[in-house]
Structure 1
Amino acid sequence: MIGYQVVTASNGNEALEKFRNLEPDLVVLDVMMPKLDGYGVIQELRKESDVPIVMLTALGDVADRITGLELGADDYVIKPFSPKELEARIRCVLRRIEKEHIAGLPNSGVIQVAAFRIDTNKRKVFRGDERIRLTGMEFSLLELLVSRSGEPFSRGEILKEVWGYTPERHVDTRVVDVHISRLRSKLEDDPANPELILTARGTGYLFQRIVDPMSADKA
C-alpha cells in the first residue's frame, strides 16, 4: 500500500512475534489463520497493547464480526474488498488515534468526570492513579460522548464521528453497541446497570451529565 511500510505474517504466532519486535502503528488481521486464529491474536494483543486492529471477515459472517469487535478489534472490512477500501479504513482508524480533539472540550486537555480523569492530549483515562486501558476507538467514542454530556447521540452520528462512516456505506450498527458494551465493562461499577453511559431509547447513547453536589446545594 502506498505510503505505508507493510510487514506480513503467515500465521498467528508469527504475527505476534513480529508485532512484539516491530511495534507497528496498526494491525490488519484475518480471522482465518493457521496455528493461532485471528481471535486468539486479538486476545493476546489486547493483553499488552492498545494498537488499532482492523479485522478482515467474510461477507456473511456477522457472528465473526461481532466476536472480533467484542474481543477488541476497532473496525472491520468485509471480504472481498478493494485495496482502496482497505486503505480508506486504515486512514480513518489512524486519524482517530491521532491527537484530534472534539470541538468544545476544555483547552486544558484534562477533563474530570465522576471518578475519572480524561486526558485528551495523551488520550488516556485514569481512575485515581490507576490507568484504564482503552483502545483508540474506545477513547474516541468516550471523548465524543463526553463532549455533549447529557445529550444523546444516535448510532448514525457515532458511526460518522468515530468511524468516519457515511450513510452510503451500509454498516451494522452493532459495531457501536459492541464498543459501548466494552466501554461500560471498563468504566462502570456494574456494567449491567450503567450509571455513566446510558441508552437513549429509540435514539442511541449518552454520557450522563454529572452534577456537582456542592453546586446542587447552592441552587
Structure 2
Amino acid sequence: MSQKILLVDDERMITEVLEAYLRKDGFEVVTSDNGVDALRKADSVKPDLIVLDLMLPDISGEDICRLLRKESDVPILMLTAKSGEEEKISGIMMGADDYVTKPFSPREVIVRIQAILRRSKRAAPAVQTNQLSFNNHELVIDLYKKEVAAHGNSISVTPIEYRLLSNMAKNPGRVYSRMDLLDKIQEDGFAYEGYERSIDTHIKNLRKKIECDAREPKYILTVFGMGYKFGGAPDAENAAF
C-alpha cells in the first residue's frame, strides 16, 4: 500500500512540482493550500507524513504544527523561506522532524521524506495483542485487564489462579513442575505462602471454572510424574510470547 503524504503549501508551482515528484516515487499525495483545510485533511486522511509550509495565508505553519502535536505524532517536514538558525531550531523544538529551506531541490525533499519515514518505521513499537485466546475464543485471557472469559462468560478467578493460568497459557505445551508454578506465582514480588502440593488445589479450582468437564480437561492437563501443561489450541491472532 502506498504511503500517503499531505502536502501543505499555498504556492501552486511548488505544490505541483513536489506532487509530481512524490507520485513518481510511488507516494499517494493529498494537497492543501491553507491551514484550516490542512488541519481538516490531517484528521480525515490520516497521512503518513505532512510536508508543511510555514507561510500560509490563514494559520501559520508554526501554529498548525503545535495543534497537530497535541493530537498526533505524524512526521512533519517543514518548508520555509526563513534560513536563520533560530528559525530552524524553533521549528524542530515545536515538533517538526526536519526542515528544508526554500529554494530547494525537489529530490532533496523526497530524500528527506524517505529518511523520516524510515526513522519513523524503526521507532514504531511492535504491535502485540493484550489478549490470549484459544479454540476460537472459547477461552480468552485479557492480559491487560487480568480477566478471564470461558464459553462466552466472564469467569471470576483469584489472583493466584490468574497467574497460574496466564503463565501456562503463554507457553502452550510446556510442562511446568509444581515448583515452576510456585516460582511463577511469586514473580514480581507477589507474596504467596503456599507449598508445592497447594498448586494441585488451585489447578482443581481452575478446571472447575474454565473446563466443560473438569474430569476430562482440555486446557490444564496433568503430566504424570512431572506436573502440568496447557493444552489449548491458540487462535491465529495471539502474540508470540
Greater CA radius of gyration, 1 or 2? 2
TM-score scaled to structure 2, two decimals?
0.41
TM-score scaled to structure 1, two decimals?
0.45
